[in-house]
Amino acid sequence: MPPWLAALFTRRMLICVFTGFSSGLPLYLLLNLVPAWLRSEGVDLKTIGLFALIQFPYTWKFLWSPLLDRYAPPIGVKGRRRGWMLVTQVGLLAAIASLGLFAPGREIVPILWLTVAVALLSATQDIALDAYRREILSEAELGLGNSVHVNAYRIAGLVPGSLSLILADRLPWLQVFVITALFMLPGMGLALFAREPAVAGGSPKTLRAAVVEPFHEFINRAGLKEALTILAFIFLYKLGDSMCTALATPFYLDMGFAKSQIGIVAKNAGLWPAVIGGLVGGLWMVRLGINRALWLFGVVQLVSIFGFAWLAWLGPHQAVGAAQLAQLALVIGFEALGVGLGTAAFVAFIARATHPLYTATQFALFTSLAAVPRTFINATTGYLIEQMGWLGFFLLCAVLAVPGMLLLVKVAPWNSRPVASMAA
């Protein structure tokens, strides 16, 4: 077996499968299942778009990430990472299951608070999972390990984005949310039975050190100008793609597709291209390097946005037949391929930019910034769509994807290593 392929079949890569699945499930629940639930119960697009604001913990998680670097929860599970993973996963299981107790038409406020709790617990879980993954992977494994993580992350989206939608046509919403919540159990198994990674230097000795040193180290390593450029790139690289898919499920519904058709065709058509794209991207990064992968995969990611514009140009279908389902599958499949490739390289870039001593805080800072478009800018998508229409909106998303690509000249030049990366 070639060395580049043998690297895929290791215990650390298996762990990355569990971290990705546990991380992706609650986020895709907020992105796919909750909007579909609200829309099917008659909630208007403006309200659904504003629900993107519940994801604010993903953008602010760096504020409490030092606590996860400094302290371990007193729950009998040894280790900072494993302890926080278990606490958040138990909370997520309970919060997700509880959503089905309420009716969107008359109880939107308790639904709002429960989804905020899901986002808060999910963001905190991500801090622990990202730090754990970064600490068990060597520098050479970052590209492949994060690709495996992203693949599992996407596969997790099949639960709330496909299985749960199919079940929603046959079962009450309470049962749908309980079944969805039970998929948090594999992550709880990881937290209980995996080994805590050993990090040279141990945890920060004081809370002040946990708060101040991660930012001080990053700015000193990169330089202020370069650090700001890297942060701008992290904000912009996924902006267009993130906005494009913010209201994907309501878009499919408005184009005339039924929930079960979306669950069976759209989500499955998106799964395998994303898995193949992420896996091929990770293996390819072993040979290409992260810099060149960001360039090549970013182009595919940008071009895939035009597929949604084409689907919007075709307009709503009065009757959905095989041709319409094939069009939907083609657009979703190509978009998923682009995202699978682009996200794998992007997450590997973020991981490479962190220092092992301050993994939780630096990783949380970078991923928080990357989540800003998904949280705050995506909250405007419902308004933009009502003003511009679906076609104009998708063309705007394509334009917004360009600045992040242009910054690659500075942060990930084709033939050299960026200044802020960690040495092997």
Query: Per-residue pLDDT tens for 54-81?
Result: 777 887 888 888 888 888 887 766 778 8
Query: Per-residue pLDDT tens for 174-191?
Result: 999 999 999 999 999 988
Comparison of pLDDT for 18 and 1, the residue scoring more: 18
Q: Which of 108-122, 230-244, 247-261 is least confident?
A: 247-261
Query: Per-residue pLDDT tens for 287-308?
Result: 777 788 888 888 888 888 998 9
pLDDT at 193 (0 to 100): 86
Comparison of pLDDT for 28 and 53, the residue scoring more: 28
What number of CA atoms fall less than 13 Å from residue 149's CA on the CB side? Answer: 27
- CATH number of the 3-411 domain: 1.20.1250.20
SS (H, E, C) the chain: CCHHHHCCCCHHHHHHHHHHHHHHHHHHHHHHHHHHHHHHCCCCHHHHHHHHHHHHHHHHHHHCHHHHHHCCCCCCCCCHHHHHHHHHHHHHHHHHHHHCCCCCCCCHHHHHHHHHHHHHHHHHHHHHHHHHHHHHCCHHHHHHHHHHHHHHHHHHCHHHHHHHHHHHCCCCHHHHHHHHHHHHHHHHHHHHHCCCCCCCCCCCCCHHHHHHHHHHHHHHHHCHHHHHHHHHHHHHCCHHHHHHCCCHHHHHHHCCCCHHHHHHHHHHHHHHHHHHHHHHHHHHHHHHCHHHHHHHHHHHHHHHHHHHHHHHHHCCCCCCCHHHHHHHHHHHHHHHHHHHHHHHHHHHHHHHCCCHHHHHHHHHHHHHHHHHHHHCHHHHHHHHHHHHHHHHHHHHHHHHCHHHHHCHHHHCCCCCCCCCCCCC
Query: Per-residue pLDDT tens for 104-127?
Result: 877 888 888 999 999 999 999 999
Mean of all residue pLDDT scores within the chain: 82
User: Are the CB atoms for 88 and 122 separated by under 8 Å?
Assistant: yes
pLDDT at 47 (0 to 100): 77
Distance separating alpha carbons of residues 184 and 316, to the nearest angstrom? 36
User: Are the CB atoms for 265 and 328 separated by under 8 Å?
Assistant: yes
pLDDT at 129 (0 to 100): 92
Query: Per-residue pLDDT tens for 91-108?
Result: 999 999 999 888 887 788
Q: How confident is the model at residue 201 (pLDDT cuts 50, 70, 90)?
A: low
What does the pLDDT average to over 213-219?
82
Report which residue type is found at 81.
R
pLDDT at 424 (0 to 100): 36
pLDDT at 216 (0 to 100): 80
pLDDT at 78 (0 to 100): 73
Query: Per-residue pLDDT tens for 374-391?
Result: 666 777 787 888 888 889
pLDDT at 23 (0 to 100): 94
Q: Which of 182-191, 276-285, 365-374 has the highest mean pLDDT?
A: 182-191
Comparison of pLDDT for 306 and 263, the residue scoring more: 306
pLDDT at 3 (0 to 100): 61
Q: How far apart are the first and last CA of the chain?
A: 25
Task: Report the sign of the C-alpha dihedral through residues 201, 202, 203, 208, in that order.
Answer: negative
Mention every residue, 6+ apart, whose C-beta is less than 8 A from residue 389.
Answer: 312
What does the pLDDT average to over 395-404?
92
What does the pLDDT average to over 27-45?
85
Comparison of pLDDT for 17 and 286, the residue scoring more: 17
User: Are the CB atoms for 395 and 312 separated by under 8 Å?
Assistant: no
What are the sequence ranges of the domains in the chain? 3-411
> For residue 15, is pLDDT > 70?
yes
What does the pLDDT average to over 254-280?
74
What does the pLDDT average to over 332-357?
80
pLDDT at 88 (0 to 100): 95
